[in-house]
Amino acid sequence: MINGKKVAVIMPAYNAGKTLEKTYREIPLDVVDEVILTDDRSTDDTVELAKKLGINHVIVHETNRGYGGNQKSCYNKALEVGADIIIMVHPDYQYTPQLIVPMVSLIANDVYPCVIASRILGKGALKGGMPRYKWIANRFLTFFQNFWMRQKLSEYHTGYRAYSREVLEGIHYNDNSEDFVFDNQFLAQILYKGHEIAEITCPTKYFEEASSINFKRSSVYGLGVMKVSMQYFFSKLGMKAKIFKGL
């Protein structure tokens, strides 16, 4: 716990057998109360390894639901076990778990309700091996979103995020996409509700075993991001899109 608040790390996993142990070993278990891994029908030994490592909760999907669907299972379980702070750490070791303490501390001390680790603040992205075309796409999409959503985030596309329980309970995330745009919808909903989002600089690593989506799926994601931005803009004008209804 931090400041009397229960901390849960969620790990949406898919074929993470080569990197899971290294990621798990860096989680500060003196602070983290629960570790939840949801396996989205991996074809490797992710599940067996997770159980061998003694991860508190291992959830296995009967069918592949997608990145968004995987997160939904993680968040639902985190709320079920009574977590006050929920932080997502990808088990592919692209992001170091060593940032968990400073990220959750901002929430535990009521400074911010949501914290994201940015690869763009500083020089972490390109230095860590992010492909240049992805960096350019990240910069374009972030500029596009900041313009239409009237925000000033350095990026919207990191997978390293921490939320307070109140944030999760106030967002109907189970109705969001099951695909990669889930993350973007979630951040847009948080901002729509008026929550502030803190950013902390984060080094990142791109290597063969790290997860990555191909160009086609990246393009679909990019179009989805632009759609979310426009939905946010027009919803603020009173023409509410489905993802913002009830917020």
Does the pLDDT value for residue 213 go beyond 80?
A: no
The confidence score (pLDDT) of residue 207 equals 66
The confidence score (pLDDT) of residue 208 equals 64
Task: Evaluate whether residue 243 is within a structural domain.
Answer: no
What's the DSSP call for residue 199?
E
Does the pLDDT value for residue 63 go beyond 80?
A: yes
The confidence score (pLDDT) of residue 210 equals 57
Task: Evaluate whether residue 1 is within a structural domain.
Answer: no
Task: Evaluate whether residue 2 is within a structural domain.
Answer: no
Does the pLDDT value for residue 124 go beyond 80?
A: no
The confidence score (pLDDT) of residue 134 equals 86
More confident residue, 115 or 134: 115
Per residue in 82-118, pLDDT (tens digit) is 999 999 999 999 999 999 999 999 999 999 999 999 9
The confidence score (pLDDT) of residue 206 equals 76
Task: Evaluate whether residue 180 is within a structural domain.
Answer: yes
Buried b (16+ CB within 10 A) or exposed e, 129-165: ebeeebeebbeebbebbbebbebebbbbbbbbbbbbb
The confidence score (pLDDT) of residue 122 equals 79
The pLDDT-based confidence of 204 (bands split at 50, 70, 90) is confident
Domain count, the chain: 1
Task: Evaluate whether residue 244 is within a structural domain.
Answer: no
The confidence score (pLDDT) of residue 132 equals 86
The confidence score (pLDDT) of residue 129 equals 80
Residue 144's CATH number: 3.90.550.10
Name the residue range of residue 157's domain. 7-238
The pLDDT-based confidence of 218 (bands split at 50, 70, 90) is confident
- Do 168 and 113 contact (CB within 8 A), yes or no? no
- Region 12-29: what's the mean pLDDT? 96
In this structure, the dihedral spanned by the alpha carbons of residues 72, 77, 83 and 84, taken in order and rounded to 10 degrees, is 30
Task: Evaluate whether residue 39 is within a structural domain.
Answer: yes
Q: What is the CA radius of gyration of the chain?
A: 17
Per residue in 136-152, pLDDT (tens digit) is 999 999 999 999 999 99
Task: Evaluate whether residue 197 is within a structural domain.
Answer: yes
d(CA 153, CA 106): 17
In this structure, the dihedral spanned by the alpha carbons of residues 103, 159, 34 and 44, taken in order and rounded to 10 degrees, is -150
Does the pLDDT value for residue 233 go beyond 90?
A: yes
d(CA 200, CA 120): 10
Predicted model pTM: 0.93
Task: Evaluate whether residue 110 is within a structural domain.
Answer: yes
- Region 39-45: what's the mean pLDDT? 96
- Looking at the chain, the whole-number percentage of residues with pLDDT higher than 70 is 97
The confidence score (pLDDT) of residue 65 equals 96
